[in-house]
Amino acid sequence: MSVDAQSQSVLAPGPWSKRFAAAVVILYAGLAVLPLLWIFLTGFKTPPDSIAYPPKFVFEPSLEGYVNLFTTRSRQSDDYLAGLPPPTNWVDRLVRSRNMVIAGPSKFGQRFVNSVIIGFGSTALAVVLGTLAAYGFSRFRVPLADDLLFFILSTRMMPPIAVAIPIYLMYRSLGLTDSHLGMILLYTAVNVSLAVWLLKGFIDEIPREYEEAAMIDGYTRFQAFWRVVLPQAATGIAATAIFCLIFAWNEYAFAVLLTSGEAQTTPPFIPFIIGEGGQDWPAVAAGTTLFLVPIVVFTVLLRRHLLRGITFGAVRK
């Protein structure tokens, strides 16, 4: 067999398959990003621009959507507006140009904070409980482990709405409806099944020898878990946390049913924005854009863990 200059590793893809793969990835990324881009742009349009036909790609950006998102306004007569002192800032000016005055802040900010508390709270709880449970299932002889694991998984198979009514009744009698604690517990309960399964897979991959070595080196089991298992499970924990957060962040059905004020999250709130004075698509788009930011930031922060492969190699198999 001749070895020419073009010869290459058996495992490395050739230039054409690389180009093809790149094309597929770019096409898919474009499809995935397009709606997000549209939402982002709509947030900076004026309401007439947002429903213009044919759609406008080039437009004069406006912050009206964001102003409308964060304020409640009331429509006033020209006479009334003329009698007011001149607007002191750009927000007032913008609102008055639409024949309105600011009546007060909207509830968006508070709903957003609710989402952050409930989303991140339940994610943290699900990941902590999930990691501990997964470690237990992975390392100890748990009676009926397979049945328990299947039971845990089965809670995930059921459509959440099937248990909505019982949970609603239960929450009402416990006084948990429309409370942060209630929503955190509910989302944790749903997410913990996913967390246990994902993390058990990751922890199973970490050879026991590491903990055994650490325990001989003078660490207790918990210290070995903390110093040796957790750092190596970081990839799995990050991936699990992202999945849990996405679920809790986007969840709609339970949020509609169980929250109305105090603890209402952003998803059931966004439809309310459409309400006053016609269809305020820029405000909806602005709310949606802001709603996406935490997930994006969280994912980008954990990206390193998601992309980094699990480190095999230091244990001879």
Partner 1 sequence: MAEVALDQVTKRFGATTAVDGVSLTVGDGELVVLLGPTGAGKTTTLRLVAGLERPDCGVVRIGGRDVTPVPPAERDTAFVFQQYSLYPHLSVYDNLAFPLRAPARRRPEPEIRARVAEIAELLHITHKLGNKATRLSGGEMQRVAIGRALVRRPSIYLMDEPLSSLDAKLRAEMRLELKRIQVGLGATILYVTHDQVEALTMANRIGVIDRGRLIQLGTPRQVYQQPCSIHVAERLGSPPINLIPADLLPSPAAPPGTRTIGARTEHLRLGAVGGPGPAALIRRVEHLGDQAHVHLEVAGHTLLTLADPHAPVRSGDRVGLELVGPLYFDGSGNRIGGTAAPGPASGAGGRTI
Using CB under 8 A as the criterion, which residues of the chain lie in contact with partner 1 when the complex forms?
207, 209-210, 212-221, 223, 228, 231-232, 311, 313-317
If the CB atoms of residues 184 and 214 are measured against partner 1, the closer one turns out to be: 214
Please tell me what DSSP assigns to residue 226.
I
Residue closer to partner 1, measured from CB, 27 or 306? 306
Q: For residues 250 and 241, what is the distance between their CA atoms, to the nearest angstrom?
A: 14
In contact, 177 and 171? CB cutoff 8 Å: yes
Question: What residue type is assigned to position 290 of the chain?
Answer: L
Min dist. Cβ of residue 302 to partner 1 (A): 17
Which is closer to partner 1, CB of 165 or CB of 213? 213
Q: Which among 236, 180, 242, 183 is positioned nearest to 206, based on CA atoms?
A: 236
Query: φ, ψ for residue 215 (rounded to 5)?
Result: -70, -35
Q: How far is the CB of 304 from partner 1 (least distance, A)?
A: 13
Residue 269, classed as helix, strand or coil, is helix
Residue 16 or 222 with smaller CB distance to partner 1: 222
C-beta closer to partner 1: residue 179 or 232: 232
* Minimum separation from the CB atom of position 307 to partner 1 (A): 16
- 44 or 225: whose CB is closer to partner 1? 225
Q: Is 142 helix (H, G, I), strand (E, B) or coil?
A: coil
198: Cβ–Cβ under 8 A, 6 or more apart, which residues? 130, 134, 236, 239, 240, 243
Q: Which is nearer to partner 1, 204 or 209 (CB)?
A: 209
Measured CA to CA, the distance from residue 160 to residue 157 in angstroms comes to 9
Report d(CA 305, CA 317) in Å as an integer: 24
Quote the least distance from Cβ 244 to partner 1, whole Å.
Answer: 23
Q: Name the strand (E) or helix (H) holding 75.
A: strand 71-75
Q: Which is nearer to partner 1, 166 or 309 (CB)?
A: 309
Distance CA 9, CA 191 (A): 43
Q: Does an H or E element contain 260, and which?
A: none
Closest by CA position to 256, among listed 168, 194, 189: 168
Query: Which residues are paired to 101 by β-bridges?
Result: 74
